[in-house]
Amino acid sequence: MQDQPVVVAKSLARRRIVDRRARLMAGLAAVLGLLFVGLALALRGAKGTGFDLAITHAVQWIDDPAFTYTMLAVSAPGYAPWSRVVLASAVVLLLAGRLYREVPFVLATEGAGLLVASIKLLVERPRPADESIRVFSAVLDYSFPSGHVVGYVCLYGLLFFLVYVRFRRSWWRTATLTVFALLVGLVGISRIHLGHHWASDVLGGYALGTAYLLLLVEAYRLLVILPRTPARPAPEPAPPGDQATRPGAAAPV
Protein backbone atom coordinates (compact mmCIF):
# COMPACT_ATOMS: atom_id res chain seq x y z
CA MET A 1 0.00 0.00 0.00
CA GLN A 2 2.92 2.35 0.58
CA ASP A 3 3.90 2.07 -3.10
CA GLN A 4 0.46 3.09 -4.39
CA PRO A 5 1.10 6.88 -4.27
CA VAL A 6 4.34 6.36 -6.21
CA VAL A 7 2.56 4.37 -8.93
CA VAL A 8 -0.20 6.98 -9.18
CA ALA A 9 2.36 9.80 -9.38
CA LYS A 10 4.24 8.03 -12.18
CA SER A 11 0.99 7.39 -14.05
CA LEU A 12 0.02 11.05 -13.80
CA ALA A 13 3.48 12.16 -14.95
CA ARG A 14 3.26 9.81 -17.95
CA ARG A 15 -0.18 11.14 -18.80
CA ARG A 16 1.12 14.71 -18.71
CA ILE A 17 3.90 13.78 -21.13
CA VAL A 18 1.37 12.12 -23.46
CA ASP A 19 -0.93 15.13 -23.33
CA ARG A 20 1.98 17.49 -23.99
CA ARG A 21 3.07 15.51 -27.06
CA ALA A 22 -0.49 15.29 -28.36
CA ARG A 23 -0.90 19.05 -28.03
CA LEU A 24 2.41 19.60 -29.81
CA MET A 25 1.44 17.37 -32.73
CA ALA A 26 -1.98 18.99 -32.96
CA GLY A 27 -0.35 22.42 -32.88
CA LEU A 28 2.06 21.55 -35.69
CA ALA A 29 -0.78 20.14 -37.76
CA ALA A 30 -2.79 23.32 -37.14
CA VAL A 31 0.11 25.55 -38.26
CA LEU A 32 0.55 23.52 -41.44
CA GLY A 33 -3.20 23.63 -41.99
CA LEU A 34 -3.21 27.42 -41.71
CA LEU A 35 -0.32 27.62 -44.18
CA PHE A 36 -2.26 25.44 -46.58
CA VAL A 37 -5.46 27.48 -46.23
CA GLY A 38 -3.50 30.67 -46.85
CA LEU A 39 -2.01 29.25 -50.03
CA ALA A 40 -5.39 27.97 -51.19
CA LEU A 41 -7.01 31.38 -50.75
CA ALA A 42 -4.14 33.21 -52.42
CA LEU A 43 -3.95 30.83 -55.40
CA ARG A 44 -7.65 30.36 -56.10
CA GLY A 45 -8.02 30.44 -59.88
CA ALA A 46 -4.51 31.88 -60.23
CA LYS A 47 -1.98 31.08 -62.90
CA GLY A 48 1.71 30.56 -62.22
CA THR A 49 3.37 33.26 -60.12
CA GLY A 50 6.87 34.65 -60.61
CA PHE A 51 8.04 32.32 -57.85
CA ASP A 52 6.48 29.34 -59.63
CA LEU A 53 8.08 30.19 -62.95
CA ALA A 54 11.51 30.69 -61.38
CA ILE A 55 11.39 27.31 -59.61
CA THR A 56 10.10 25.52 -62.72
CA HIS A 57 12.82 27.03 -64.91
CA ALA A 58 15.46 26.00 -62.37
CA VAL A 59 14.20 22.40 -62.15
CA GLN A 60 13.63 22.02 -65.90
CA TRP A 61 17.12 23.40 -66.56
CA ILE A 62 18.21 19.78 -65.99
CA ASP A 63 17.43 18.64 -69.51
CA ASP A 64 18.73 15.09 -69.39
CA PRO A 65 16.71 12.07 -70.58
CA ALA A 66 17.94 9.89 -67.71
CA PHE A 67 16.75 12.47 -65.17
CA THR A 68 13.38 12.78 -66.91
CA TYR A 69 12.91 9.00 -66.90
CA THR A 70 13.79 8.96 -63.21
CA MET A 71 11.16 11.62 -62.52
CA LEU A 72 8.62 9.62 -64.52
CA ALA A 73 9.46 6.53 -62.45
CA VAL A 74 9.04 8.50 -59.21
CA SER A 75 5.60 9.78 -60.26
CA ALA A 76 4.36 6.48 -61.71
CA PRO A 77 3.18 4.87 -58.41
CA GLY A 78 0.88 7.84 -57.86
CA TYR A 79 -1.27 7.03 -60.89
CA ALA A 80 -3.99 4.40 -61.07
CA PRO A 81 -3.84 1.43 -61.23
CA TRP A 82 -0.36 1.46 -59.65
CA SER A 83 -1.50 3.51 -56.67
CA ARG A 84 -4.08 0.85 -55.84
CA VAL A 85 -1.51 -1.91 -56.34
CA VAL A 86 0.86 -0.22 -53.89
CA LEU A 87 -1.86 0.25 -51.28
CA ALA A 88 -3.12 -3.34 -51.64
CA SER A 89 0.45 -4.70 -51.45
CA ALA A 90 1.10 -2.74 -48.26
CA VAL A 91 -2.08 -4.12 -46.67
CA VAL A 92 -1.25 -7.69 -47.70
CA LEU A 93 2.28 -7.43 -46.28
CA LEU A 94 0.96 -6.03 -43.00
CA LEU A 95 -1.56 -8.85 -42.72
CA ALA A 96 1.12 -11.41 -43.56
CA GLY A 97 3.27 -9.95 -40.80
CA ARG A 98 0.32 -10.09 -38.36
CA LEU A 99 0.34 -6.33 -38.00
CA TYR A 100 -3.44 -6.17 -37.99
CA ARG A 101 -3.80 -2.95 -36.01
CA GLU A 102 -1.71 -1.06 -38.55
CA VAL A 103 -4.00 -1.86 -41.50
CA PRO A 104 -6.77 0.68 -40.68
CA PHE A 105 -4.22 3.47 -40.44
CA VAL A 106 -2.75 2.62 -43.84
CA LEU A 107 -6.24 2.51 -45.35
CA ALA A 108 -6.99 5.86 -43.71
CA THR A 109 -4.38 7.49 -45.96
CA GLU A 110 -6.94 7.19 -48.76
CA GLY A 111 -8.96 9.86 -46.98
CA ALA A 112 -6.30 12.38 -47.97
CA GLY A 113 -7.04 11.69 -51.64
CA LEU A 114 -10.74 12.38 -51.17
CA LEU A 115 -9.84 15.60 -49.37
CA VAL A 116 -7.57 16.69 -52.22
CA ALA A 117 -10.23 16.02 -54.83
CA SER A 118 -12.70 18.24 -52.97
CA ILE A 119 -10.19 21.04 -52.44
CA LYS A 120 -9.20 21.08 -56.11
CA LEU A 121 -12.82 21.76 -57.06
CA LEU A 122 -12.94 24.65 -54.60
CA VAL A 123 -9.62 26.28 -55.56
CA GLU A 124 -9.97 25.73 -59.34
CA ARG A 125 -6.37 26.53 -60.14
CA PRO A 126 -5.42 25.69 -63.75
CA ARG A 127 -2.51 23.40 -64.54
CA PRO A 128 0.79 24.88 -65.78
CA ALA A 129 0.45 26.05 -69.38
CA ASP A 130 3.04 28.80 -69.76
CA GLU A 131 4.88 28.82 -73.07
CA SER A 132 8.26 29.10 -71.35
CA ILE A 133 7.97 25.72 -69.59
CA ARG A 134 7.81 22.13 -70.78
CA VAL A 135 4.70 20.06 -70.05
CA PHE A 136 5.44 16.38 -70.46
CA SER A 137 1.80 15.39 -70.86
CA ALA A 138 -1.54 17.14 -70.48
CA VAL A 139 -3.45 16.65 -67.22
CA LEU A 140 -7.12 17.61 -67.22
CA ASP A 141 -8.00 18.20 -63.57
CA TYR A 142 -7.12 21.22 -61.41
CA SER A 143 -3.66 21.87 -60.06
CA PHE A 144 -3.80 22.87 -56.37
CA PRO A 145 -2.76 21.01 -54.31
CA SER A 146 -0.58 18.31 -55.80
CA GLY A 147 -2.40 15.04 -55.22
CA HIS A 148 0.80 13.08 -55.80
CA VAL A 149 2.62 14.96 -53.06
CA VAL A 150 -0.23 14.62 -50.55
CA GLY A 151 -0.63 10.92 -51.30
CA TYR A 152 3.08 10.15 -51.09
CA VAL A 153 3.58 12.05 -47.84
CA CYS A 154 0.60 10.29 -46.24
CA LEU A 155 1.12 6.72 -47.50
CA TYR A 156 4.91 6.44 -47.76
CA GLY A 157 5.41 8.69 -44.76
CA LEU A 158 3.18 6.45 -42.64
CA LEU A 159 4.87 3.30 -43.96
CA PHE A 160 8.24 4.86 -43.11
CA PHE A 161 7.02 5.45 -39.55
CA LEU A 162 5.60 1.94 -39.17
CA VAL A 163 8.73 0.24 -40.45
CA TYR A 164 10.87 2.43 -38.21
CA VAL A 165 8.96 1.70 -34.99
CA ARG A 166 7.90 -1.92 -35.59
CA PHE A 167 11.08 -3.55 -36.93
CA ARG A 168 14.58 -3.94 -35.59
CA ARG A 169 17.62 -2.54 -37.34
CA SER A 170 18.69 -4.51 -40.37
CA TRP A 171 19.93 -3.92 -43.90
CA TRP A 172 16.45 -4.43 -45.40
CA ARG A 173 14.90 -2.02 -42.88
CA THR A 174 17.45 0.65 -43.81
CA ALA A 175 16.89 0.02 -47.52
CA THR A 176 13.11 0.23 -47.13
CA LEU A 177 13.30 3.47 -45.16
CA THR A 178 15.62 4.93 -47.78
CA VAL A 179 13.20 4.10 -50.61
CA PHE A 180 10.24 5.62 -48.77
CA ALA A 181 12.21 8.77 -47.92
CA LEU A 182 13.38 9.18 -51.53
CA LEU A 183 9.85 8.81 -52.87
CA VAL A 184 8.52 11.47 -50.50
CA GLY A 185 11.42 13.82 -51.14
CA LEU A 186 11.59 13.45 -54.92
CA VAL A 187 7.90 13.45 -55.83
CA GLY A 188 7.66 17.22 -55.52
CA ILE A 189 10.61 17.74 -57.87
CA SER A 190 9.16 15.22 -60.32
CA ARG A 191 5.81 17.03 -60.50
CA ILE A 192 7.55 20.31 -61.27
CA HIS A 193 10.04 18.81 -63.74
CA LEU A 194 7.26 17.12 -65.71
CA GLY A 195 5.30 20.39 -65.86
CA HIS A 196 2.30 18.92 -64.07
CA HIS A 197 2.35 21.29 -61.10
CA TRP A 198 3.61 24.66 -59.99
CA ALA A 199 5.99 24.86 -57.04
CA SER A 200 3.24 26.41 -54.90
CA ASP A 201 1.02 23.38 -55.66
CA VAL A 202 3.81 21.17 -54.38
CA LEU A 203 4.34 23.34 -51.28
CA GLY A 204 0.63 23.16 -50.50
CA GLY A 205 0.72 19.40 -50.99
CA TYR A 206 3.57 18.97 -48.54
CA ALA A 207 1.80 21.17 -45.98
CA LEU A 208 -1.52 19.32 -46.22
CA GLY A 209 0.07 15.88 -46.43
CA THR A 210 2.33 16.47 -43.44
CA ALA A 211 -0.57 17.79 -41.33
CA TYR A 212 -2.63 14.71 -42.21
CA LEU A 213 0.33 12.42 -41.51
CA LEU A 214 1.00 13.98 -38.10
CA LEU A 215 -2.59 13.34 -37.06
CA LEU A 216 -2.40 9.71 -38.26
CA VAL A 217 0.89 9.09 -36.46
CA GLU A 218 -0.38 10.61 -33.23
CA ALA A 219 -3.60 8.58 -33.43
CA TYR A 220 -1.53 5.42 -33.94
CA ARG A 221 0.69 6.29 -30.99
CA LEU A 222 -2.27 6.90 -28.68
CA LEU A 223 -4.36 3.94 -29.81
CA VAL A 224 -1.71 1.28 -30.52
CA ILE A 225 1.71 2.06 -29.05
CA LEU A 226 0.77 3.41 -25.63
CA PRO A 227 -1.71 0.62 -24.71
CA ARG A 228 1.06 -1.91 -25.48
CA THR A 229 3.59 -0.14 -23.24
CA PRO A 230 3.29 -1.48 -19.67
CA ALA A 231 3.68 0.97 -16.84
CA ARG A 232 6.93 0.53 -14.97
CA PRO A 233 6.34 -0.89 -11.48
CA ALA A 234 7.59 1.14 -8.57
CA PRO A 235 10.82 -0.19 -7.04
CA GLU A 236 10.39 -2.12 -3.81
CA PRO A 237 11.72 -0.29 -0.74
CA ALA A 238 14.85 -1.77 0.81
CA PRO A 239 14.38 -3.51 4.18
CA PRO A 240 15.48 -1.51 7.23
CA GLY A 241 19.20 -1.80 7.80
CA ASP A 242 19.77 -3.37 4.38
CA GLN A 243 22.29 -0.74 3.37
CA ALA A 244 24.36 -1.52 6.40
CA THR A 245 24.41 -5.27 5.70
CA ARG A 246 25.37 -5.10 2.01
CA PRO A 247 29.06 -5.66 1.29
CA GLY A 248 30.79 -2.35 0.77
CA ALA A 249 27.80 -0.31 1.99
CA ALA A 250 28.51 2.62 4.23
CA ALA A 251 27.31 2.30 7.81
CA PRO A 252 24.43 4.62 8.72
CA VAL A 253 25.50 7.73 10.55
- Computed over every residue of the chain, the mean pLDDT equals 87
pLDDT band at 138 (very low <50, low <70, confident <90, very high): confident
Q: Let me know: does 183 contact 156? Beta carbons within 8 Å.
A: yes
Is residue 152's pLDDT more than 60? yes
C-alpha 37, offset from chain centre: 19
Q: Check pLDDT > 80 for residue 1.
A: no
Helix (H, G, I), strand (E, B) or coil at 249: coil
Q: What is the rounded average pLDDT of the residues 81-87? A: 95
pLDDT at 251 over 50: no
What is the pTM assigned to this prediction?
0.83
pLDDT tier at 249 (50, 70, 90 boundaries)? very low
Averaged pLDDT, 84-112: 96
- N- to C-terminal Cα separation, the chain: 29
Confidence of residue 92 (pLDDT cuts 50, 70, 90): very high
More confident residue, 10 or 163: 163
pLDDT band at 236 (very low <50, low <70, confident <90, very high): low
Q: Residue 239: its pLDDT value, please?
A: 56
Confidence of residue 245 (pLDDT cuts 50, 70, 90): very low
pLDDT of 8 reads 45
By percentage, how much of the chain surpasses pLDDT 70? 83
For residue range 35-82, list pLDDT tens digits in order: 999 999 999 999 888 999 999 999 999 989 999 999 999 999 999 899
- Comparing 23-27, 172-176, 233-237, the range with the smallest average pLDDT is 233-237
Q: What is the DSSP string of 37-59?
A: HHHHHHTTT----HHHHHHHHHH
Q: Angle CA(197)–CA(35)–CA(20) in degrees, nearest 5?
A: 130
Question: What's residue 248's pLDDT?
Answer: 44
Which residue type is seen at 117?
Answer: A
Overall average pLDDT of the 182-194 stretch: 97
Neighbour tally for 48: CB within 10 Å: 25
pLDDT value at residue 184: 98
